[in-house]
Amino acid sequence: MTSETHLLIENRGPVRVLTMNRPEKHNALNTVLTRELLDGLRAADADPAVNAVVLVGAGKSFCAGADTTEFSALTPDDPQAVNARADLTTSLHLVFSQMNKPVVAAVRGNALGGGAGLALACDLVVMSETARFGYPELKHGIVAAVVLANLVRQLGRKQAFELVAMAEPINGHEAKALGLANRAVPDQDVLDTAMQMASKMAAWSPLAMATTKRTFHRASDLSLGDALDVGRDANVMMRGFRSAGTAAATPSVSTSASANGKH
């Protein structure tokens, strides 16, 4: 296991476990952790020995959101710093959909604000039955902003607005009922369940997995006709996997797409 300042990195076979490691702050996202997490996800995607990623928080919580102690330094008096921090947060929430490799969130304890957004940005979510998932920003006089993008895409408008406007957390079973979690399990089973799901996906052909993920994200934001065209192109591409002898090869299909945020 190697350690960055706030991020622990461990390979368990073809699954890379990224652990946010600020337990005393409930893994709140300061600038250092945000940057290391973004770099860590990109590095995992580029590593041919890694086929899937599990994201987890050290200690009692997944992630309590943005580190508000940094807010005092982000003022209109320094617009460059404000813009740089906003760009970094946006890049982190976007990178999950740009990756070839699936990412599973293992959510225990608090997943609030930016932490809730981080969980939803992952491809799959395993959540503790007793987790506290939500968007409490209005209670603190601030706005759920960047995190809204994934929320409104994954949940109906009325339910999504209730989560941000009422600012009340929900538990794992409620999150699963809303379609925001794939599994709701006892706290002690969260990481094992996430690892099982990640390991299963890691066993598939990397090229087929990458193409499935890229096609999924492209189709999800398109009209039916355009989405069918995307599926048709992937169908034609798939026919060449076995004959080309590349079914088990690590794909190189994301370079240009990832660079411009398209899939």
Which residue among the candidates 36, 129, 137, 162 is catalytic per the annotation?
A: 137
Q: What stretches of 108-151 adopt beta strand conformation (E)?
A: 110-112, 124-128, 132-134
CA 103, 104, 109, 115 dihedral sign is: positive
137 as an active site residue: the answer is yes
Question: What whole-number distance in Å separates Cα of residue 30 and Cα of residue 65?
Answer: 9
Bridge partners, residue 111, by sequence: 63, 133
Query: Please, is 122 exposed, middle or buried when counting C-beta atoms within 10 Å of its C-beta (0-12, 13-18, 19+)?
Result: buried
Residues 6+ apart with CB under 8 A from 8: 1, 2, 17, 18, 19, 21, 58
Q: Which residues are catalytic?
A: 137
